[in-house]
């Protein structure tokens, strides 16, 4: 990244020349099936949990997208984007460029509304409140993927801590026979009897 940062203006000069193609739901589905890029959904986690394309990686389109992309994506692999709104494209590309990502295959025109309207399948990620988690945690495997600093400030007792950039390498530590529930963006108050 030092080299990318040192050559920053060079990368930014080509910003408007990135070949990011608009893709109809059918063309986007074909690109996914041909493995034309890594599928990245930049909508917020609640929208993603409510319905997304199978195999998508969720990295919310906030200023820290650059950090998460650096942890999770290979800059040599092109990216297929699912946006919240089509008008978000330039903002999202700028966030990727900050970390050196300049290869984009295309984005889904009309986002998930267009995908759903085309009748293509959706995957969902179940979400639960901290109260439900505490009631069910004896039958679940709770994995906290937050940073070490967040973990130290408070976490669900009995949770297994694997910081998200390490998850791919450490997934074998988890029990495959027990359902998993991941905590990614939780506010846990250590003083609360329900959260300790």
φ and ψ at 180, to 5 degrees?
-105, 145
Q: What is the pLDDT of residue 18?
A: 52
What predicted TM-score, i.e. pTM, was given to this entire model? 0.76
**Same fold flag, 2-117 and 130-183:** yes
Q: What is the pLDDT of residue 147?
A: 87
Structure-token match 């295309």, residue found: 106
Q: What is the pLDDT of residue 190?
A: 34
- 92-109 pLDDT, tens digit per residue, is 998 998 888 888 999 999
What's the rounded mean pLDDT across residues 75-80? 92
What's the rounded mean pLDDT across residues 27-32? 94
The fraction of the chain above a pLDDT of 90, given in percent, is 40
Task: Give Cβ neighbours of residue 44 (< 8 Å, ≥ 6 apart).
Answer: 60, 84
Q: Which of these, 140, 131, 127, lies nearest to 51 by C-alpha position?
A: 127
Question: Does the structural domain 2-117 have CATH classification 3.90.1150.10?
Answer: no
Q: What is the pLDDT of residue 184?
A: 60
Q: What is the pLDDT of residue 37?
A: 93
Structure tokens, 47? 């929208």
- Do the strands 21-23 and 104-108 form a parallel or antiparallel pair, or are they unpaired? parallel
Give the whole-angstrom CA distance, residue 55 versus residue 58. Answer: 10
Domain ranges of the chain: 2-117, 130-183
Q: What is the pLDDT of residue 87?
A: 92
Task: Give Cβ neighbours of residue 19 (< 8 Å, ≥ 6 apart).
Answer: 104
Q: What angle do CA 50, 133, 73 make, to 5 degrees?
A: 50
Q: Which of 53-67, 133-147, 171-185 has the lowest mean pLDDT?
A: 171-185
Dihedral class, residue 70 (left if φ above 0, else alpha if ψ from -120 to 50, else beta): alpha
Pick the CATH number of 130-183 from 3.40.250.10, 3.40.47.10, 1.10.10.60, 3.20.20.140: 3.40.250.10
Q: What is the pLDDT of residue 191?
A: 31
Give the whole-angstrom CA distance, residue 94 versus residue 61. Answer: 10
């Amino acid at each position: 990244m030092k080299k990318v940062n040192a050559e920053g203006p060079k990368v930014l000069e080509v910003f408007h020349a990135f070949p990011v193609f608009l893709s109809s739901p059918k063309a986007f589905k074909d690109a996914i099936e041909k493995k034309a890029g890594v599928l990245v959904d930049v909508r917020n986690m609640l929208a993603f949990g409510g319905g997304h394309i199978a195999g998508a990686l969720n990295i919310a389109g906030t200023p820290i997208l650059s950090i998460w992309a650096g942890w999770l994506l290979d800059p040599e692999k092109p990216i297929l984007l699912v946006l919240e709104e089509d008008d978000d494209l330039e903002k999202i590309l700028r966030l990727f460029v900050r970390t050196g990502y300049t290869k984009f295959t295309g984005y889904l025109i009309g986002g998930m509304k267009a995908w759903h309207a085309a009748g293509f399948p959706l995957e969902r990620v179940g979400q639960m409140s901290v109260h439900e988690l505490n009631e069910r945690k004896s039958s679940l495997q709770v994995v906290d993927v937050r940073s070490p600093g967040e973990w130290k400030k408070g976490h669900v007792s009995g949770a297994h801590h694997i910081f998200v950039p390490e998850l791919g390498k450490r997934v074998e530590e988890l029990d495959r026979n027990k359902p998993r529930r991941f905590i990614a963006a939780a506010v846990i108050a250590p003083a609360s009897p329900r959260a300790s």
